[in-house]
Amino acid sequence: MEFIRRRDLLKFAGGALLGMAAGGGDALLAVRRATRSGPADSGYDPNALGEPTDLDEYDFILPRVQVVELPFKGRGKGPDVWNVRPGGDANLLRELSRVVRCHVKPIQGAVDWQPQYAYDGQLNAAVTFDDPDLLRHYPFLFMTGENHFQLTSDQKGNLKDFLSAGGFILMDDCVVGSGGDFFYASCFQLLENLFGRGSVKAIPREHEVFHNVFDLGDIGLPYLQYSGGRGTHGQNHGARGLFLGDRLAVFLSSNDLHCGWCDSHGVEWGPEGYRKTIQMGINIILYSLTH
């Protein structure tokens, strides 16, 4: 799989230095990553021809990965599947644009927790692991879900090629309450199947992904706690990742960062929960853009 050269994915935004006063870090250069849009509820058409149409319109686009989850039992509302809560994506993109002063692709009609599922075309983009020629336009991918999932052998091969060629994926388990870490477990098993047992490792707090924009070294991966002392949310396995050489290629979270992004008014986790999960998301994006 031929991946776009990294210098073709990144550009300096007028050479302007960005003051990261909120995180207390050094100034960083604005970067741009080419991405591609597509329908949100069914993924792109693997047989579609031509190149993406919005690569040059935005500085950053947040694509979601569509996976088919295994049957889910025990919850009348249904599982939180791959396109759940687009308001979280909208909030992260808005906060990213404020910190990095970049032009992000907006998500219309999504406010915090509503709607529960993205409607057709609402997300920035949607992809599957079926077509490597289309995947190469998306160097940064976001995966979320609540249940176990499986990939075909071809999809696994394309995923491995994508990561090996320089791609990055944030895999975040959408745990509901204190439910099981099913999506996390499937991600963990998938990566170890592709790259070998022991390839998924703990990400130490000294790693730059916790320090590059906002300094989160004191807490590492944020763990959501309900406001008013109503307990905790998600499964806290800490930050784990797949390293290819010195490069972190996958950030694997069991803590449901995405739920934190949905809570801009601090109703569930308080202002601190929202702030820390947004900061973690921005750190992850900026790390992926510069490595």
The CATH number given to whatever domain includes residue 127 is 3.40.50.12140
Q: What pLDDT does residue 227 have?
A: 74
Single-letter code of the amino acid located at 94: R
Q: Which residues of the chain have pLDDT under 70?
A: 1-53, 55, 72-79, 176-179, 228-234
In a domain, 45, yes or no: yes
**Residue 209 DSSP class:** G
Which residues sit opposite 247 in a β-bridge? 244
Whether residue 127 lies inside any domain: the answer is yes
State the pLDDT at residue 23. 35
Position 93 in a domain: yes
Residue 38, in any domain of the structure? yes
- For residue 149, tell me if it sits in a domain: yes
CA atoms 145, 236, 142, 273: torsion sign: positive
Mean pLDDT of all residues belonging to the chain: 80
Strand segments, DSSP code E, in 153-278 are 168-173, 200-202, 240-244, 247-253
Q: Is 232 exposed, middle or buried (CB count within 10 Å of its CB: 0-12, 13-18, 19+)?
A: middle
- Residue 115 is part of which domain span? 6-289
Q: Are 232 and 269 in contact (CB under 8 A)?
A: no
Residue 224: inside a domain: yes
pTM confidence score: 0.82
d(CA 74, CA 16): 52
Predicted confidence at residue 236, as pLDDT, reads 81
Phi, psi (5° rounding) for residue 97? -65, -30
Number of domains in the chain: 1
**Helix/strand/coil for 71:** coil
Residue 1 placed within a domain: no
